[in-house]
Each structure stands twice: as C-alpha cells, then as structure tokens.
Chains A and B, each alone.
Chain A
C-alpha cells in the first residue's frame, strides 16, 4: 500500500479542501496530457479532465489502497476519453479541430516536428493511441498500461510497436525523415 496515497485520499474523503487542491494539482498534468493527446483539442481536454476529477472524487471511497492512485486516475481518464471520442464521432468535428487538421496537411506551413507527430498520433486507432501516449508521455511500463487498459501485457507490446511503425511511416510520408536518415548514416 502506498501510504502517501492513502493519507491523501483519507484527507480528501474528510472534505479537506486543501487536500483536494493538492490532489488535483498533483495529477492534473498527467490527466490533461492523456486527454489532450487523445482528443487533440484543448477545450475538450479541459472539460474531460474536470469530469475525470469529479468522478474520481465521487468514487474515491471505492479506491483500492493496494493500487497506486495515478494508474487508477488514468484508467478513469482513458475511459472518459473513449466515451468522449465515441460521442464526438457521431457529431461534426469541432471547427477548431478541423482547422488544425487542415493546417497540418501542409508540411510547408507547419514544420514543427512535435506537432507533426501529434497529428500522426491523432490518426492512430484509439487503443493504439492511448497505449503510445501512456508509454511515451507518462513513461508507464507495458505492465502498467495493461492494468490501466485491462489488456494483457503482450497485447500492449503489440499495440506499442504497431503504433510506432504507423507513426514512423506517417512521418516518412510527410517528409520528416531526411534529416534523421542523414544522421543515421
């Protein structure tokens, strides 16, 4: 059991506002990072992050002390992102998101490698995308990601390498490769 996590949860359950503030401050970057990468839209990500924390506080009494808090919160966040994406797929893509996609089509207009990768990530399958983000942004192990996504570790490894292959192929298509190729030789 993680004593720090347990103590913080107890304080939150007691209604200690400062403990709740500390709780949000502690995890908001991770949760926002996953949501922002998954949704590709800042405002949507902020909305989902707030929803994640509200849900987490409501079900904090159900938290298993044998489980660390961060993966538990990331599980909630991954589920909320999945739900949000399934809802969004049934309605028009927000104009801001569409504009981002349109701009990113042109390599000349957008040279930033990070944004290129983010655009490529947004084209991945949802489960591949979640896996890639949790591995490369949250630096979680394949075992931890498997626990969060409720999949075997082997499946997570497969998803990770497929997503990496797809992203590399996408960046090659966009002409990101030459500099790297030059370095590798």
Chain B
C-alpha cells in the first residue's frame, strides 16, 4: 500500500473511531520509514491522549452559576425599576436654559455695543459726522444734526437701552431660577413619581415666562424699529 493510501486509511480510522483496521495498518507501517513515522505519530497520541484526558480537574460550579444568575436577575430588575435620577435630566434642562439665556444676553449686549459704535463711527450719507475730533476753523458747531439723523440715533439709543435692560433682567432671573433648583438629589430607592421635580421645574418655567415675553418684545421692537439699510445686521 502506498503512503497516500496508508495515510488516508489511518485518518479514516481516527475520524470514525473504528479500529477494525488497526492490526492491518500496523503491519503495513513497516513498509517504509515514512509509513513508520505516520504510525508512530498515531501511537504517540494514542498514548498521550488518555493521559491528557485524566488531567482535567473536577469542578462543581452549580452554586456559583446560580448565584451569578440570581445576581444578574436582581440587577436587571433593579435597572428596570430604578427611578430615573432627575439630577442629570433636570441639570441638563437648567444648563439648556442657562445657555440659551446667556446667548441671548450676549447677543443683546453685542447689539448694544454695536449700535453705540455705529453711532460714533458711522455717518449717514449726506450728513456731517457728529464729532470728528479735529478742530476746524468753522464758527459753526460741528455737532449740528439733521432731524432724521436725530430720530434715528434716538431709536438706536432706545434699542440699546432695551437690550441692556433685557440683559440685566435675564441675569436677575437666572439668579432666581438657580436658587429654585433643589440641592439634594431625590432618594434613588423611591419608586413614586418625582413630584418635587415637577414643582421646581414648573417654578422655573413660571419664573422664566416674563423674560420670554421681554425677549419677544425686545426683538420685535429692535426688528421693526431699526431700518435694515441703516445697520450692519
């Protein structure tokens, strides 16, 4: 029997665990050194595998597995029934409010400053600058302004004042709103609805309502009172 056939039969014997051909293959193993080597490999593992199978330690993990199952089951139930901790939720809501109001306040201050700057630096075409800082020989005062320019400047002053007042009002409201947030987090064990959360959130909302109205009025005032073509906005 050639080496390929010998190897094939040997492998089939191992795969099927059918050792009927064992003595026949053992005789054929002397055919060549290659046959002999394949047969020796088989014998090495035939000797080593039973010894290896004996080295498996005994274990009893029944209690450990059931304890772990109970623990995982308990933690799942706990997660399922755990109250939603309002700290992150309400904290993020307050942060959103604060960020929104801060943006509005900064925007309004920026508008105020911008309009003030326009008032000094910009000149309306066809009119004299309010003050150039350069001495002239003219006997006529340089601050003389045309009536439309004065009314425009008055509008800008009003818008700036409204913006500034709005910013101050926002800051004051923020201070009050922050003081309404409860310092202590609710107890995590409770499964009751978070009444305290709804109360103080409602308080903040009520507190914020005037500032919302003010922002709305101020924006309407600014948008409708300042001619678009005369500003850089």
Give the B-binding residues of A (Cβ under 8 A).
17, 20-21, 24-25, 28-29, 32-33, 36-37, 42, 46, 49-50, 53-54, 57, 112-118, 121, 136-137, 139, 142, 157, 160-161, 164-165, 167-169, 171-172, 176-177, 179-181, 183-184
Contact = CB atoms under 8 A, between A and B. Distances in A.
A64 to B, nearest CB: 22
A43 to B, nearest CB: 11
Contacts of A115: 52, 55
Contact of A114 (B14, B29, B51, B62): B51
Interface of B: 11, 14-15, 17, 26, 29, 36, 39-41, 43-45, 47-49, 51-57, 59-62, 64-66, 68-69, 72
B61 A33 contact: no
Nearest to B71: A54
Contact of B45 (A37, A46, A164): A164
A50 B64 contact: yes
A184 B72 contact: no
B54 A114 contact: yes
Nearest to B30: A185
A32 B69 contact: no
Nearest to A160: B15
A142 B15 contact: yes
Chain B CB within 10 Å, residue with most, of A28, A117, A157, A181: A117
B66 A21 contact: yes
Nearest to B49: A136
